[in-house]
Structures are given as C-alpha cells and as structure tokens.
Amino acid sequence: MSYDLFESPFSTRYGSDAMRRVWSERHKRLLWRRLWTALAAAQADLGLVRPEQAADVRAHAADVDDASIARALEIEHEIRHDLMAEVRAFAEQCPIGGGIIHLGATSMDIEDNADALRLGEALDLILASLRGLLAALADQVERYADLAVMAFTHLQPAEPTTLGYRLAQTLQDLLMDLDALEACRAGVRGKGFKGAVGTSASYRALLAIAAPSAPGDDIERRVMAAIGLEAFPVATQTYPRKQDWLIVNGLAGLAQSLYKFAFDLRLLQSPPIGELAEPFGARQVGSSAMPFKRNPINAEKIDSLARYIAALPRVMWDNAAHSLLERTLDDSANRRVAIAEAFLAADEICGVATGIVSGLRVSEPHIARTMATYGPFAATEPLLMALVAAGADRQVMHEHLRERSLRAWADIAEGKPNPLTIALPDDAALQRFLSRAEIARRMDAADYVGDAPARARALVAHCRGRLSGPAALP
C-alpha cells in the first residue's frame, strides 16, 4: 500500500479478503491463462496445434507472480492493450507453446469468460454471507416473537406489534433477495468462443484447415466444458451486458433490504426511543468531541454503502443500452470499477449486518416505557369493539374515546404519564356497558398483537427450510 498515492477504501477497509481475491489482478490473469490453456488443449485435440505446445502452455499457466505481472504492465505501457500484454508476457514464459497462445481468439473471448467466472465466484461468496445473515436473523425473530413493542406508522405510534414480527419483515425481504441472487447465480453465462463479432468465423476457419469434419462450434463446446461454464447461445463481441445489470441490480436489492433495516435501527437506537442498539465495543469511541456519544456507526455504514450500490445499476443499464451494434468500448473502463465495488460493498454490508443482528442489544425497559406511554391509545381500539359488543353506540363511544385521548396527549406533551390506563376504568360512560375490571383488562395493549407471534415463527420455519433447499414463500 502506498501512502503517497490514492488507494481505494475497498482495497483495505470495505469487503472481505476473499472477495478482494476474486477481483484481484492476479486472479484475473490466472483466469485468462486458464482459458488460454483450455483453448490450446481443445485445439491440440483437434489437431490445430501440437500436443507439446499445449502442454507447455499448461505448464506455465500458474506462473503469475509479481515479476510476471510487472512484465505484463511494462508491455502494456508500450502497446496500450492489457490483454495482449498478458499474452506476450505469458508467451515469453512458454518457449515451446508461446506462439500458439490466443490462436483464433479475440480479447473478449478471454476477458468476458473470465469475468463470468468471477461473477459466479463473487455471487457464491455473497450467497454464503446472505445465508449466514438469514440464519442469525431467524434466531432473533424466534427469540423475540412474543415481545410486544409499539409499532409506528407515519413515524407516529400506532398499535403494538412484536419485535420478532418487526424483524420478520427484514427476514422476508432478505429471502426475496436470496431468491433473486440465486437466480442470478444460476443464470451466469460466458460469451463462449465466438470471435470478433460473435459469428465464430475465425474458429470455423481453423477447423476448415485441420478438422473439416468437426462441428463448427466444437472449439467453443470443448473449452466451455473444460472450464465448467455455460455460454450464451448468441453473442456479439461481448456477452450481453444485460447480465451485468441483472446481477448488480440483484446486489442493489440486497442493499435496499439492509438499508431499511439499518435505518430503522438508527431510529430505534435514538435515546428518545432507545429500544434497540447495535453492539458497542468497550473501548469504542463515539465522537472526537463528545465523550458520551454512542453513535450507530455500523448501521450508518450500511446505509452509506447501500446508497452507493443503489446508484450502480444505472451504470450497468447504460452499458447494456449503449452497447451499439456489435460492440462499443465505452463500458470497459467503468466495468473495471463498478462491478468489483458493487460486490465488495455488498460483501461489507452483509457482514456488518450479520454482526449487528448477532449482537443486537434489546432494551426491554425502554420498550416497556414506550408501551406505557403510547400503548393505552392503541388499547382504545379493542375497548371500543368490546363496548359496541356490549350494546354501546359505536359513533358515540368513538367520539368519547377520542376526546379522552386528546386530553391524554396534552398530558404527555407536558411530560406526564399517559392517564388513560387509570382514567378509563373509572369512566362512568364506559361503566354503563363494561365493568371496571373488564375495562382495566382491555387497557393492557401488550396482548393486542394479533397473530404476529405465530406469523413470525412460521416465517422462521420457512426460512430454515429454505436454507436447506429452495422453496416458495408460504
């Protein structure tokens, strides 16, 4: 790392080493060489090159050390073509087979198939991380399936739900992301070996020389089987750039789910609510100026990086839409940056979210405080239904409870406790229809959570089954 030149935060700060290796310069060149090796082997089988030439290429395919990369970069500085520079650096290492490397191929026969392999590897890492997050979140949904909390609509207190059911909303979103990203993984395709404009003309010309009876797609079929990658049936000079858009859009969907989760956590960690908090280290510093601060830095990081990921599908959209005729090169530079960073950012936020979920801090006293303040308002709804069932006029009782609630809001605004829990059981107008004890029982809003616990547990069961194999949401 140079401290005198710009270094990307993704080089050290964001993302895992495993994800960085997928998008590393060395791994890219090793994949290029793997493709050249498979191409040489196929051509040797068909009699297009000598077996000893293909063997020499294979023998040096892994010789990608710092000196080799430096040599390729030196050549690139002169010829201004990165793949051709690697061809020459590789050829210099292969005294017997160097002259047949890249025979019949165009650059994107190598680069796009290598990129497709990297997309698959990167998706495997994201999917593994996402499954770990889902497992951790399912545990918390189950743990808190019955814990009543105040729900908010329009950022205003509404009715009770349970903490497990609230977390189940994120669990459900992430299960949809799992479906989408698994579909992306299953759909990853390479360009294949189709030449400069996708017609396979160069490969057919080679076959006509040495193996005229071979099928026209024999070289492509052999190479793609060797590397374990399916090819798009048709292509131009590149594989369809729509593939990049679909995959990055899938990552943006994951980012969207985690953005909402993290934003909700930031709201609930605010001391006026204080019900949840992300883990906070014993020696962690919250602010350089205010020693008391406990800022939700991890949730904020998720939202910051998720916002960045959300902008990247548009870049991929433009690359696909502007890939004019059989190819333009105006996607090349941004793809070097955007795809890798989309995966590294997604990798980071998935890992950070798993840490937050696993170490989630739940303050039951703060939850009880919020319920005591706002729960009595919610309790007026089941109370109203009980009054009507006992013979009261619904409209009259609604107006009466509305007036009592507005007076209670005034007390709360002055910092007083909510008076409804005490006042309503003693309300003579209500006692005409229900006993004091019945009214008091109805004022406990903690039981007014409907089927939230059952639904939360059902989703947990589905999630655990889903992690054992694909299944549809119930």
Q: Looking at residue 22, what is its pLDDT? A: 98
Same domain, residue pair 132 and 173:
yes
Question: CATH no. for residue 349?
Answer: 1.20.200.10
CA distance 295 to 274: 12
If we measure between CA atoms, which residue out of 310, 276, 312 comes closest to residue 294? 276
Same domain, residue pair 413 and 373:
yes
Same domain, residue pair 388 and 245:
no
C-beta neighbour count of 4 within 10 angstroms:
5
Same domain, residue pair 398 and 337:
no
Q: Looking at residue 276, what is its pLDDT? A: 96
**275-305, pLDDT tens digit by residue?**
999 987 656 656 545 545 578 899 999 999 9
CA distance 222 to 43: 9
Q: Looking at residue 286, what is its pLDDT? A: 60
Question: CATH no. for residue 396?
Answer: 1.10.40
Same domain, residue pair 307 and 408:
no
CA distance 252 to 250: 5
Residue 299 maps to a domain: yes
CA distance 294 to 220: 58
Residue 320 maps to a domain: yes
If we measure between CA atoms, which residue out of 259, 260, 176 comes closest to residue 463? 176
Residue 212 maps to a domain: no
Give the 3-state secondary structure percentages of the chain, helix then strand then coil, rounded to 5: 65, 5, 30
Q: Looking at residue 36, what is its pLDDT? A: 98
Same domain, residue pair 165 and 112:
yes
Same domain, residue pair 272 and 304:
yes
Q: Looking at residue 15, what is its pLDDT? A: 97
Q: Looking at residue 204, what is its pLDDT? A: 93
For residue 249, the surrounding DSSP H or E stretch is helix 242-269
Q: Looking at residue 471, what is its pLDDT? A: 52
Same domain, residue pair 358 and 369:
no
CA distance 55 to 41: 8
Counting as low any pLDDT under 70, the low residues of the chain are 1, 281-293, 470-474
Q: Tell me how long the chain is.
A: 474
**Strand 148-153, strand 156-162: pairing:** antiparallel
Same domain, residue pair 337 and 433:
no
Domain that holds residue 395: 365-447
Active site members: 154, 287
Split into its structural domains, the chain has a count of 2
Residue 220 maps to a domain: no
Q: Looking at residue 8, what is its pLDDT? A: 94
Same domain, residue pair 376 and 346:
no
